[in-house]
Amino acid sequence: MMEPESKWIDIGFKMHLRLWPAAASDRAKTPFLLVHGLASNARTWDGVAAELASAGHPVAAIDQRGHGLSDKLPIEAGYDFITVTADLIKLLDSLDWEAPIVAGQSWGGNVVLSLGAFHPGRAAGLVFVDGGFLAAKQRAPIWEEAYEIFKPPTFAGVTRADMRRRMREYQPEWSDAGIEATL
């Protein structure tokens, strides 16, 4: 299995990505951009990316702003869909990828949906894994309610071993590699 290259691209901040470049003979294959969910990182996609890369596709799995190894920006810098979608456009331009297939998981699925809605033609296809809704306001019309529903869980004091055990208990179908990537 080909190991990815860890790379940082300056798009107004340092965005980290794991890049599986295509072999010279596969340069014409459609690239894939993989976008993780909230409180996650690019490693979420390691298994999928390896399969796509082994089929000859160039693949980039990103750490969105404030996540993983990308720069941690103040809240004032913007974490709204318009801003994070603009990050994807800047990244696609930096990679010189005109129309990749873009997949997003959970919150990343919503970012990918925003890409398709506001930048039609920039993706050859969109894939949503456990995400892809825009009407969160209907579920939580008041900010305080939305915060309580969507805030990431608190893991203070939880050991890595405890987290691994919980993940195995709640997601028994996940591979060991998937659990390790999520940790």
Distance CA 180, CA 161 (A): 11
**Mean pLDDT of the region 44-73:** 95
Q: How much of the chain exceeds pLDDT 90, in percent?
A: 63
Q: What is the CATH number of the domain that holds 69?
A: 3.40.50.1820
Whether 109 and 31 map to the same domain: the answer is yes
Q: Residue 104's domain spans which residues?
A: 5-139
Which segments of the chain does DSSP mark as H helices, in order? 46-54, 81-95, 107-118, 136-139, 143-150, 160-170, 176-182
Confidence of residue 157 (pLDDT cuts 50, 70, 90): confident
In a domain? residue 165: yes
Distance CA 173, CA 18 (A): 25
Q: What integer best gives the mean pLDDT of the chain?
A: 87
Q: Which tokens in the block code for residue 107?
A: 């919150």
In a domain? residue 144: no
In a domain? residue 147: no
pLDDT of residue 71: 97
Whether 87 and 172 map to the same domain: the answer is no
Domains: count for the chain: 2
pTM (2 d.p.): 0.76
